[in-house]
Amino acid sequence: MNQKGIFKNVVVKKYIMGLSGLFLILFLLVHLSINLCALIPDGGNTFNELAEFMDLPVIKPLEVGLFIGFIIHILDALVLTLQNRKARKNGYEVSAANANSKWYSRSMGILGTLLLMFLIIHLAHFWFPNRFTGYELDGKESHNLYQLMLYTFNELWIVVLYVLVQISLGYHLLHGFRSAFQTLGLNHPRYNTIIEGLGVIYSITVPLLFAVIPVILYLRIHGYIPY
Amino acid sequence: MSQKLDAKIPEGNIAEKWTKYKSTVPLVNPANKRNIEIIVVGTGLAGSSAASALAEMGYKVKVFCFQDSARRAHSIAAQGGINAAKNYQNDGDSIYRLFYDTIKGGDYRAREANVHRLSEVSGNIIDQCVAQGVPFAREYGGLLSNRSFGGTQVQRTFYAAGQTGQQLLLGAYSALQRQVGMGTVKSYTRHEMLDVVNIDGKCRGIIARDLVTGKLERHFGHAVLLCTGGYGNVFYLSTNAMGSNVTAAWKAHKKGAYFANPCFTQIHPTCIPVSGDHQSKLTLMSESLRNDGRIWTPKKQGDTRKAIDIPEEERDYYLERRYPAFGNLVPRDVASRAAKERCDAGYGVGTSKMAVYLDFAANMKRYGRVEATKQNIHNPDEETIVRLGKEVVKEKYGNLFDMYKQITDENPYEVPMRIYPAVHYTMGGLWVDYNLMTTVPGLYALGEANFSDHGANRLGASALMQGLADGYFVIPYTIGAYLSNEIRTAAISTDHEAFVEAEKNVQSQIEKLMNIKGTKSVDYFHKKLGKVMWDKCGMARNEAGLKEAIAEIRAIREEFWKDLRVPGSANEFNPELEKAGRVADFIELGELMCKDALNRNESCGGHFREEYQTEEGEANRDDADYAYVAAWEFNSVGEWTLNKEELKYENIKIAQRSYK
Amino acid sequence: MSHGDMNLTLKIWRQKNTETKGSFETYPISGISPDMSFLEMIDVLNEKLIVEGKEPVAFDHDCREGICGMCSMYINGRPHGPKNAVTTCQLHMRSFKNGDTIVIEPWRASAFPVIKDLAVDRTSFDRIMAAGGFVSVNTGNAQDANNLPISKEDADESFTSAACIGCGACVAACKNASAMLFVSAKVSQYALLPQGQPERKSRVLAMVAQMEEEGFGSCTNTGACEAECPKGISISNIARLNREYLGAALSSK
């Protein structure tokens, strides 16, 4: 076996894809739990405390790890996609692929690209100002992330964007969750139903809860519902 | 001029012949093996096993097949199983009993010494295949499972569901690919052998056509092994693959190899009946189905009721009636003829009335009751029994039932299958001696391509056994007898005049085919030939019919060379050209088959001459006059000389075959 | 003819050889019996083309009983056509309706170059097999077959994987033209049997390396291969291959 080629190997690339995917799935859970705290009606205190905790120097390396996770997931996907394109240079005239597979299974690249575009916007909204530039609220510089959220989700189009993106995320997860287990070889008749069931539950509830947060905040800001 | 054929059978007691011969046959030392080249044509069980075994020994091997991969050879389609005298079932099996059954099954027209050797090595085949990772069916205890096949009273058939041939071939193919990967075998796929090259009376190579580019190639070999299967497609409709052909064997025949017993063809009793003129091939339903299926027709002629509406007492289980000892498991020739007899007499079923029923209902219920007992269901209702029974049958024959449903659009779990005999295997083939060498030194024939082991009728699950026996366990030893004298023969240049001339002849035949530019397709002639063969040289033959057939075949040949149209060009991938060459050979072979059938004034095995039957309609063999192998020597197209090899039965008392 | 004849329009990919570019040709065809197999329908077309002095359509086929794996054809957007679990030769015209237009294409994958019309070169599969798809046992070395008991469950599962006919429908169906189902079926057959153990690691490494060398894509777990496989080979084999590969890659020297 050619050792230098091991990371070039297609199966290894797939492990990396699956592992980084599972890592990001775990991250989403953490992210979601913190975000849900923004709904606690204490003027954002709990949420901001958690946000400050995430700013502690011991947590910082984890953030770097997270970025690396994203980058690996994205680059690996890119490399695999290019390789897969080469494997079929001339396409079919007619395709009835819906008869043998789900559209979202075949559209991970597009779904992922949408998520990447969102990620950039999302970072620009929250992470970048919070980490580096700070931001002006009522004319003075602030580091109150909760306030920043209220400020951001004041705009209807941003709320709509965040909600729509969760649909993309849901489908990406619907394939990705199950697929990661398959790629890592975790396929067993006894556990397949559990894995698939968990995948479906995860792919629906996580994006749904993510979507609910900006909606509730928007409704609160605009007084449609009370705090 | 008739020449005496020397089968080179070793002296001695039958049980010791092979062992002794193996220990005394000359060897080729490893250093010399490296310089000896062997050409293997065909990659079925015989070809793949021979090529891999010889390469393992150190010979340089080239292997050729017309398919796109060695794995496609038609051995892959064998369904039921492979026999071996293992006696794993403790039911009294032995090498002698397998030997005896095979000789008797072949209606005393096979060569004793070859068949005994086959029985001796049968057990090794199973060992070898298991070692290769062939996933045979097993019992819960982890040991190998067996089932019964026609013409025997023991369970000696090993199987892998209904795909035994596939699994065995993939085993041999993987052994072959291993050698290809090691560089000891060079594989030429999509190549068709179009002639053998003889130099100074010895076979020294072949001319092959690259089917993709159309280029002719010359290949040298110290020996050439033809493992090219049978010629059942001479009938157009058969269970053979579309590409199965006689061309390699026929070209060898025209270059001096005698063709033995060409009229011995096997008509398999359980095939899906013909559904219309469009039919391009017939599909077999494994003989293993006769383990659990009961064959019947209505007792009333021309009964148009549905099978399920015909009450038990109005059904004629004619095999059980005529042959109580073997019942539905009589040999293939007997079962086929009995089906034909019923249909000809007007008892046939289905729209064409050329079919009989193969019914699983009774055994499905029997299995259902056993299963219910196993599952502790007391007093199960009818519905439960049928449901459980269906599950058992599904596990045993699921793929066959699916295939039947796919083709006929009828569900065999609900209604009985309709079956009718169809051409399946050819016992005849190139004449070979004990070493599997043809009458041309250095030219060998293995597997179905030779004639030696099955006499006038092959028993079920014996073809796989013979193919692998020849390739794995016979030729590696016997080829030494010839090659030990060839170690001084340096590789002959393919510029040798014999190669040049052979290639020129092949080229001119191709040009001739291309230049007819007539009006009719190859299939037109093939169908026409097939009909003559089936009607007059099929399940039943008679003198008048055979004479007519010969005249008709000659007329077809004439028309073929006048009015054939081959589209495209010779320098490209041209399947029509491939077919044309093959059908040209089938036409010549068809005539020889009729001639052979006409010569054999007796009925034996698959060869049934209507003039020679007992009062009960059984085959009437004539051992005094026809206990010989008819080996035909080619003189010119339509002209042959008959040579005879006397068959001596020293170990088995020759007797009227009875399955009653 | 049981349900009357059918009239169809065939749109077939024609390509002279590997080097030339191909295109679609349209052929009307009539008098097709629903009992014909799909290939017999093509036979009828070819017979007609030959008599008209045109070139017949080249296609691969041999056993016509669903086991040799030689027939291919991508029919109306699916390998082996609209019916599940059958090869093209076992597909019958009763699966179509009178008046249908049927689009027929060759398998498309860089590792399966078109030879002519609908025939493609699948020798890449042979080379993958030559890389490691075997048990290294020379003829004559075997012990008695029953000295090696194998649980029925393992033997049956191994057989199910071994039932692959190597037709390449998995590659044709996969949006990445991946050969993972084919390779994993062979890896599984041996991984499940004691005979396969000595070469378990080297086999999976070598076969996967060759697979990549041939230019097949990667598996993105869409499941299209399993759905289109005429022999119902499961993608659980691919998971097993992934497991086997991980174990082998981590522990091989």
Closest partner residue to C78 (CB to CB) among A88, A90, A96 is A96
* Cβ atoms < 10 Å from Cβ of B187: 23
* Cβ atoms < 10 Å from Cβ of C108: 21
Cα separation, C182 vs B170, in Å, equals: 14
Give the tokens for residue B485. Answer: 């004298």
Question: Do the Cβ atoms of C182 and C161 come closer than 8 Å?
Answer: no
DSSP summary character for residue A133: I
Q: Is residue A156 less than 8 Å (CB to CB) from chain C? A: no
Q: Over chain B, what is the mean pLDDT?
A: 96
Find the mean pLDDT for residues C58-87.
97
Of C95 and C2, the structure prediction assigns the larger pLDDT to: C95
The tens digit of pLDDT for each residue in B126-153 reads: 999 999 999 999 999 999 999 888 888 8
- Which of C102, C221, C241 to probe by mutation at the A interface, max A CB count within 10 Å? C221
What is each CA distance from B561 to A84, B209, B253, B512, in whole angstroms? 51, 21, 21, 8
Q: Is residue C109 less than 8 Å (CB to CB) from chain A? A: yes
Is the pLDDT confidence value at B262 over 90? yes
pLDDT of residue C252: 75
* Residue A2 within a domain: no
Helix ranges restricted to H, A38-107 = 45-55, 60-87, 103-106
Residue B440's nearest CA partner among B265, B257, B617 is B257
pLDDT of residue A138: 65
Find the mean pLDDT for residues B337-350.
94
* Residue A129 within a domain: yes
Residues 61-80 of C with CB under 8 A from A: 74, 76-78
pLDDT of residue B363: 93
- Which of C67, C151, C214 to probe by mutation at the B interface, max B CB count within 10 Å? C67
Closest partner residue to B409 (CB to CB) among C16, C94, C196 is C94
The tens digit of pLDDT for each residue in C26-50 reads: 999 999 999 999 999 999 999 999 9
Token pair 């096949």: residue: B149
The tens digit of pLDDT for each residue in A155-195 reads: 999 999 999 999 999 999 999 999 999 999 999 999 999 99
Q: Which CATH number fits domain B495-625: 3.30.70.20, 3.40.50.170, 3.40.1440.10, 1.20.58.100?
A: 1.20.58.100
Is the pLDDT confidence value at B657 over 90? no
* Percent share of chain C, pLDDT over 70: 98
Q: Is residue A30 less than 8 Å (CB to CB) from chain C? A: no
The tens digit of pLDDT for each residue in B484-526 reads: 999 999 999 999 999 999 999 999 999 999 999 999 999 999 9
Q: Is residue B215 less than 8 Å (CB to CB) from chain C? A: no
- The model's confidence at residue C106, banded by pLDDT at 50, 70 and 90, is very high
Residues 63-82 of A with CB under 8 A from C: 80
The CATH number that applies at residue A32 is 1.20.1300.10
Is the pLDDT confidence value at B45 over 70? yes
Of B278 and B471, the structure prediction assigns the larger pLDDT to: B471
Residue B461's nearest CA partner among B44, B45, B83, B74 is B83
Closest partner residue to A92 (CB to CB) among C77, C239, C245 is C77
- Strand C114-116 with C23-32, pairing: unpaired
Is the pLDDT confidence value at C182 over 80? yes
Residue B262's nearest CA partner among B431, B99, B385, B131 is B431
Cα separation, A122 vs B585, in Å, equals: 76
Give the ipTM of the model, two decimals please. 0.97
Contacts of A13 in chain C (CB under 8 A): 218
Find the mean pLDDT for residues B443-463.
96
Residue C50's nearest CA partner among B243, B580, B576, B562 is B576
Cα separation, A153 vs A137, in Å, equals: 14
Domain ranges of chain B: 270-422, 495-625
pLDDT of residue A6: 63
Is the pLDDT confidence value at B203 over 80? yes
- The model's confidence at residue B80, banded by pLDDT at 50, 70 and 90, is confident
Q: Is residue A101 less than 8 Å (CB to CB) from chain C? A: yes
Concerning whether B111 is annotated as a catalytic residue, the answer is no
Cα separation, B399 vs A30, in Å, equals: 51
SS3 B628: strand
* Residue A185 within a domain: yes
- The model's confidence at residue A3, banded by pLDDT at 50, 70 and 90, is very low
Contacts of B568 in chain C (CB under 8 A): 55-56
Question: Do the Cβ atoms of B504 and B549 come closer than 8 Å?
Answer: no
pLDDT of residue A1: 42
Q: Which CATH number fits domain B270-422: 3.90.700.10, 3.10.350.10, 1.20.120.420, 2.40.50.140?
A: 3.90.700.10
How does DSSP assign B273-303, residue by residue?
PP--TT-----B--GGGGGT-EEEEESSTT-
Beta carbons of A97 and C216 less than 8 Å apart: no
Beta carbons of B131 and C143 less than 8 Å apart: yes
Cα separation, B76 vs B67, in Å, equals: 12
Cα separation, B191 vs B179, in Å, equals: 19
Chain B nearest-CA distance from C216, in A, is 18
Beta carbons of B135 and C155 less than 8 Å apart: yes
Q: Is residue A133 less than 8 Å (CB to CB) from chain C? A: no
Q: Is residue B341 less than 8 Å (CB to CB) from chain C? A: no
* Residue A95 within a domain: no
The tens digit of pLDDT for each residue in A58-93 reads: 888 888 999 999 999 999 999 999 999 999 999 999
Q: Over chain A, what is the mean pLDDT?
A: 91
DSSP summary character for residue B644: E
Is the pLDDT confidence value at A106 over 80? yes
- Which of A6, A9, A10 to probe by mutation at the C interface, max C CB count within 10 Å? A10
* Residue A1 within a domain: no
Residue of C nearest to B174 (CA): C134
Return all residues near B316 (Cβ < 8 A) that are at least 6 apart: B296, B297, B298, B299, B342, B347
Cα separation, B394 vs B415, in Å, equals: 14
* Residue A20 within a domain: yes
Domains of chain C in sequence order: 6-116 (3.10.20.30), 123-251 (1.10.1060.10)
Beta carbons of B69 and C86 less than 8 Å apart: no
Beta carbons of A80 and C218 less than 8 Å apart: yes
Query: Model pTM?
Result: 0.96
Neighbours of chain C (3+ CB pairs under 8 A): A, B
Find the mean pLDDT for residues C214-219.
96
Cα separation, B283 vs A30, in Å, equals: 61
Contacts of C51 in chain B (CB under 8 A): 519-521, 565
Find the mean pLDDT for residues A86-101.
96
The tens digit of pLDDT for each residue in B519-538 reads: 999 999 999 999 999 999 99
Is the pLDDT confidence value at A131 over 90? no
Beta carbons of C1 and B175 less than 8 Å apart: no
Is the pLDDT confidence value at B2 over 50? no
Q: How many helices (H) and strands (E) does chain B have?
A: 18, 20
Q: Determine the Cα angle at B140 with ends B142 and B384, to 5°.
A: 160
Closest partner residue to A93 (CB to CB) among C24, C215, C218 is C24
Cα separation, B355 vs B352, in Å, equals: 7
Q: Which residues, in sequence order, are bridge partners of residue A136?
A: A141
Beta carbons of C221 and A91 less than 8 Å apart: no
* Polymer length in residues for chain C: 253
Question: Do the Cβ atoms of B407 and C92 come closer than 8 Å?
Answer: yes
- The model's confidence at residue A51, banded by pLDDT at 50, 70 and 90, is confident
Residues 166-225 of C with CB under 8 A from A: 173, 175-178, 202, 205-206, 208-209, 211-212, 215-224
Q: Which domain holds residue A14?
A: 7-88+103-221
- The model's confidence at residue C2, banded by pLDDT at 50, 70 and 90, is very low
pLDDT of residue A55: 80
- The model's confidence at residue B3, banded by pLDDT at 50, 70 and 90, is low
Token pair 């041996």: residue: C190
SS3 B206: strand
Residues 410-469 of B with CB under 8 A from C: none
Is the pLDDT confidence value at C133 over 90? yes
Element (H, E) at B157: strand B157-158
Closest partner residue to C152 (CB to CB) among B142, B181, B242 is B142
* Residue A94 within a domain: no
Is the pLDDT confidence value at B1 over 60? no
Is there contact between B and A if contact means ≥3 C-beta pairs under 8 Å? no
Cα separation, C46 vs B547, in Å, equals: 34
pLDDT of residue A137: 65
Beta carbons of C217 and A179 less than 8 Å apart: no
Is the pLDDT confidence value at C168 over 60? yes
Give the tokens for residue A182. Answer: 């398959």
Token pair 């039965």: residue: B649
Beta carbons of B133 and C193 less than 8 Å apart: yes
Helix ranges restricted to H, chain C = 38-51, 123-132, 152-162, 169-173, 180-191, 200-213, 224-228, 236-251
Residue C139's nearest CA partner among B186, B470, B327 is B470
Is there contact between A and C if contact means ≥3 C-beta pairs under 8 Å? yes
Beta strands in B317-392 (DSSP E): 356-359
